[in-house]
Structure 1
Amino acid sequence: MPTVCSIEPTPNPLATKFVLDAPLQIQSARQFDSASRAFGDPLAEKLFAIDGVAGVYCTNDFVTVTRMPTADVEALEAAVSDCIEAYKPRRVINVSCENPPPGERAPSVHDVGDPFETDADDPDLLMQINHVLDEHIRPYLDKDGGGLDILRLQEFALTVRYKGACGGCPSAVTGTLFAINNLLQNYVDDRIQVILD
């Protein structure tokens, strides 16, 4: 059972990172931007039940919660910490997405945070880009309670999506995106143009 060992601010003024002392035992990072998208994820469902929660990003090592601008920060942080510490990872039950239980919708790839296949016209270039992002960008986004997914690579146009604290962060939309673009142009190919989804 994870315990929150620290609560950290992020560059996004509406997001807070809850660092854990034990892994959540999930297979991949999960991003939820609404309670309806959290359906089927027990921790995210409980976090969205807390008044003021607007977004949830879960990794094995931390949970980032984005709050509504009017939320009481101290009350929200206490409630989120209690919720995380009460969470007991459960065994995953294999439910077919094609035949969900009656009254439930099938989870989609983006709901549960499973890895999805990137649409790329040049797989070798995509591999080089991912290597540079893994070495130079993703560790820093992770420290700030966020992440980055590549959605598409078509004719050197790289479409990305921020996760966690990076989503909606003013510096991520301007400075960080510019830095990613420059880094990829310098290390991989000067024709790359990074586009935010």
Structure 2
Amino acid sequence: MFIQTENTPNPATLKFLPGQTVLETGTADFPSAETAGTSPLASRIFAVNGVAGVFFGNDFVTVTKADAVEWEHVKPAILGAIMEHFQSGQPAIADGSDAGAGGHAEHDGEDADIVNQIKELLDTRVRPAVAQDGGDITFHGFDRGVVYLHMQGACAGCPSSTLTLKMGIENLLRHYIPEVLEVRPVAV
């Protein structure tokens, strides 16, 4: 098994490409070791000293390291943990767990049409591009013209995330949906 790695715009996060499917559908975010209980793969990766976060996409795993750790010290152990996992035959996420949902928040009410347009633009224009960088952005809420988005994986804590939100996503949404006035990140 050969696992490729790619840098992301976030210097604290690396994207690992195992060459096979990680999650059939959706994404899964494990911002700490305590949240990894439903995932044998995330648990293995968190066993490596210095790992601060794990995120799964369809065909990739992004790992965020602690600030005090250098990639050259943890990368070999992370590669080993990913390889061991895929050779074990275990699933990335235990059966019956909803940790792989990774979808948008529900929104009912008078703004339902606007929210559906926002989600459609996110799914067709934003999320595929963000996945290329090892992350995901999901809809969290809409209130009085403000769109609240949750950033995951390489996007969470990325130095360029504010620029991505303001100059990219906000401009896109405002162009297509006049009711959108601003985009803000939320921490979940």
Q: Map of 1:121-160 to 2, 5 A cutoff?
A: 121=109, 122-160=111-149
Match for 2:160 among 167, 171, 182? 171
Q: Which amino acid in 2 is paired with 1:9? A: N
Give aligned-pair identity as a percent: 33
Contact 2:147 2:180 in 1 (8 A): no
Aligned to 2:174: 185
**Alpha carbons of structure 1 residues 79 and 138: separation in structure 2 relative to 1, 3 Å:** same
Aligned to 1:89: 90
Q: Which amino acid in 2 is paired with 1:14? A: A
Aligned-pair CA distance for 1:156: 2.3
Report SS of the residue matched to 2:156: coil
Deviations along 1:129-185, whole A, 9 cap, x unmatched? 12222232212211111110111122322111101000000111x210112111100
Greater shift in the superposed pair: 85-94 or 59-68: 85-94
Q: Which amino acid in 1 is paired with 2:28? A: R
2:65 is equivalent to residue 77 of structure 1: no
**Alpha carbons of structure 1 residues 120 and 4: separation in structure 2 relative to 1, 3 Å:** farther
Aligned to 2:107: 119
Q: Number of residues paired by the alignment?
A: 179
CA distance in 1, matches of 2:163, 2:184: 13
Deviations along 1:30-55, whole A, 9 cap, x unmatched? 00111111112111111111011000
Report SS of the residue matched to 2:141: strand
Match for 1:17 among 15, 18, 35? 15
TM-score by length of 1: 0.82
Q: Map of 1:13-52 to 2, 5 A cutoff?
A: 13-52=11-50
Q: CA RMSD for the aligned pairs?
A: 2.0
Q: Which runs of 4+ in 1 moved over 6 A?
A: none
Contact 1:120 1:152 in 2 (8 A): no
CA distance in 2, matches of 1:140, 1:118: 23
